[in-house]
Amino acid sequence: MKKFDMKILVFLAACLASWFGAAPVKAEIVDRIVAVVNDDIITMSELNQMSRMFQSRQKLDPKGKERQALKREMLEALIDRKLAKAEAKRRGIAISDKELDAAVEDFKKKNRIPDDATLTKDLAQHGMTLKELRQQLADQIQQERLVFIAVGAKKSSVSEKEVRHYYETHFQKSSGKQVHLRMINLPYPPGATPGQKEEILKKAEGALKDIRLGGSLAEVLQKYSLTSQDMGFINQADLNPQLGELISKLRPGEVAPIQTPAGFQMMILVGRRSGTPPSFEEVAPQIRRMLEGLAMQKEFAQWVKTLRAKAHIKIML
């Protein structure tokens, strides 16, 4: 495969806190069972899917023993997920269609997706259907409720000192600089062949060339059947350091080509702005909720171990 026409940085696309930063991979044909969890099973295709997604987001390319160790770690995480889902079902934690509809609307709002047609198109580009998205959202809501019921809010209390420390580390020391980015995503199709990857590369090169020659974004997107996502203003300090350095060299309107394990992306700098960091009073509730959530997840991980002790688990990896 020939190289992109300029230096391409491979980086953690998820650093933008965008759901579309890393494309999910559709399950392959099930070849064998790798674990039995009570009355449920985990297939090799499930394990491979989770491993690839994790490697893509964490910019990993493990080999040999490291790859096998990562797969085993992912298998343990899948076992915990199966146990938690079964426990949620046993406790009668169900998600209504109305709640799921609201979750989908919230998902669209957070990702700046204007309508259902655009959502369906974007999901298809990432190898997903709306039904699969709804199932993922349902599982997420279900586990959040199980966490609260099983662990309880009292165990996850966060001190004022912890909140202030987080503020001083992540907000107060920030210069307040923000960048407005728009992303064009060109993911590889699930199980892409070398020929399909070459085709995506040629499309990325063509779109990049047209943008740099002054073509309007709307015309380029239409020509190559692409979509763009408005990322809005992002704190430059929150970006992956490699991406932040690359973006800092751009002028508004310029584009940075990026290669990820899942395909290609183009980041267009729309503009910059600066300002003073928010006050402690403004962001303290948000910081507290985030820290409480992390504390609850830690307690939940310990609680899941009690489910393991009572479960029938057979690993065949």
Whole-number average pLDDT of the chain: 79
Is 231 contained in some domain? Answer: no
Q: Which residues pair with 71 in a beta bridge?
A: none
Domain membership flag for residue 83: yes
What does the alpha-carbon distance between residue 239 and residue 85 come to, in Å, rounded to a whole number?
A: 33
Confidence of residue 18 (pLDDT cuts 50, 70, 90): very low
For residues 57 and 307, the model is more confident at: 307
In a domain? residue 87: yes
| pLDDT at residue 311 tops 90 | yes
Mean pLDDT of 38-45: 90
Examine the pLDDT at 75 and tell me if it is beyond 50.
yes
pLDDT at 106: 87
The first and second tokens of residue 75, run together, are 């298998």
Q: Looking at residue 16, what is its pLDDT?
A: 36
Angle separating helix axes 130-151 and 64-90, nearest 10 degrees: 70
Q: By C-alpha distance, which of 97, 45, 95, 99 is closest to 74?
A: 45
Range of the domain at 92: 20-155
Q: Read off the pLDDT of each residue in 101-120 and give the average, rounded to a whole number.
A: 85
Given this model, what pLDDT does residue 25 score? 42
Residue 158 amino acid letter: V
Residue 109 is predicted with a pLDDT of 82
The pLDDT of residue 242 is above 80 = no
Structural domain includes residue 7: no
Residue 225 belongs to some domain of the structure: no
* CATH number of the domain residue 104 falls in: 1.10.4030.10
pLDDT attached to residue 127: 59
Give me the pLDDT at residue 36, please.
Answer: 94
> Is 178 within the bounds of a domain?
no
117 lies in some domain: yes
Q: What DSSP string describes the chain? A: -PPPSS--EE--GGGG--GGGS----------EEEEETTEEEEHHHHHHHHHHHHHHHT----HHHHHHHHHHHHHHHHHHHHHHHHHHHTT----HHHHHHHHHHHHHHTT--SHHHHHHHHHHTT--HHHHHHHHHHHHHHHHHHHHHH-GGGG---HHHHHHHHIIIIITS---EEEEEEEEEEPPTT--HHHHHHHHHHHHHHHHHHHTT--HHHHHHHTT--EEEEEEEEGGGS-HHHHHHHHTPPTT-EEEEEETTEEEEEEEEEEE--PPPPHHHHHHHHHHHHHHHHHHHHHHHHHHHHHHHS-EEE--
Q: Quote the number of domains for the chain.
A: 1
pLDDT category of residue 15 using cuts at 50, 70 and 90 = very low
Residue 34 confidence (pLDDT) above 60: yes
Q: Is residue 129, in this structure, part of any structural domain at all?
A: yes
